Amino acid sequence: MYTFMDRIKNELEKLGVKENIPLSELTSFRIGGNAEFVLDADSYEKIKQAVALCIREGIPYVLLGKGTNILAPDAGYNGLVIVFSHPIHPPVWLENKVIACAGTSLTSLAKESVAKGYRGMEGLCGIPGSVGGACAMNAGAYNMEMKQILKRVRVLRNGADQWIDVKPESLGYRRSEFSFPKCIVLEAEIELTEDDGFAKERMLEFGKRRSEKQPLEYPSAGSAFKRPTGYYAGALIEQCGLKGKSVGGAQISPKHAGFIINTGGATESDVSDLIELVRNTVFEQTGVMLEPEIKRMGEKGCIC
């Protein structure tokens, strides 16, 4: 008998969807069970067809860029994971403006911008995500963030493929209105300024600071907590004696207390328990409630 699921599988197969892919292979934390279906977002038409199919048939779907800010469920994901991990086309430059597709590596684009004689992205070099993920998270470092340079985004929203002008209120500290499930970023237009002659030097200096201070030798999802106003999350965690604290395979990095690392075989619940332990301890000892920066992949999308 030809069932509902056979029909769905057949339609997904036509789009090149793969089955039973470990989320641990799609996320930098290297955690997570199998995703039932995975689509490599390598064509705009395919993305639109896949989203329309999911909406029409009630199939849960979720979006990943390079998966560098994600804690994926141990139980896996029953539905479709659309992955924007490669660019559909190379960045298109027009003087100091560039249009890059969502799957473009943010670090590659930052390097390219500096090589072309522009500044504004050198602080973003080293952030391991995609351009789409950076728009969704308003990624930033060293006093530079996407909000300063993002001019327009091409999004898929409510079935419409449209360019939207970025307003000052569109992005804030690690938040953006251009984020799944509200919308799917397809392309971003970024505007940069002329190099002051030191962009490359700054980029190299920031890279050095990253490798000296961050536990890049272990899988992680970057800073585990947002920066609370007036404090640094890592300093508070260290002050509370939690540096090096472990739950299962998850550990507060002995190198940088703002990072939770996977020392081997960490599970989603190890990381969740460690996050709760940190939040409770820091709140009891300092009165500051830390908010996770890492996004959890939930039933209906990526949520905090």
Give the binding site for ligand FAD (CB under 6 A): 28, 63-70, 84, 102, 127-130, 132-134, 136-137, 139-141, 179-180, 184-185, 214, 216, 220-222, 295, 302
Of the candidates 171, 164, 105, the residue with the CA atom closest to the CA atom of residue 136: 171
CB 185 within 8 A of CB 132: yes
Nearer residue to ligand FAD within complex by CB, 44 or 283: 44
Instruction: Please give the structure tokens belonging to residue 46.
Output: 């395919």
Cβ of residue 128: shortest distance to ligand FAD, in angstroms?
Answer: 5
Cβ of residue 269: shortest distance to ligand FAD, in angstroms?
Answer: 20
Contacts of 280 (CB under 8 A, 6+ apart): none
Active-site annotation holds for 279 = no
Catalytic option among 30, 119, 174, 202: 174
Nearer residue to ligand FAD within complex by CB, 114 or 136: 136
Nearer residue to ligand FAD within complex by CB, 9 or 227: 227
Residue type, 38: V
Nearer residue to ligand FAD within complex by CB, 148 or 214: 214
Sheet with 259-262, edge to edge strand ranges: 220-223, 259-262, 250-252, 246-247
Active-site annotation holds for 176 = no
Contacts of 17 (CB under 8 A, 6+ apart): 37, 38, 39, 50, 80
54 vs 52: CA distance, rounded Å: 6
Catalytic option among 113, 130, 179, 223: 223
Cβ of residue 115: shortest distance to ligand FAD, in angstroms?
Answer: 21
Parallel, antiparallel, or unpaired for β 92-94 and 97-101?
A: antiparallel
Active-site annotation holds for 293 = yes
Cβ of residue 302: shortest distance to ligand FAD, in angstroms?
Answer: 3
Return the SS3 of 87: coil
Task: Give the residue numbers annotated as catalytic, written as ranges.
Answer: 174, 223, 293
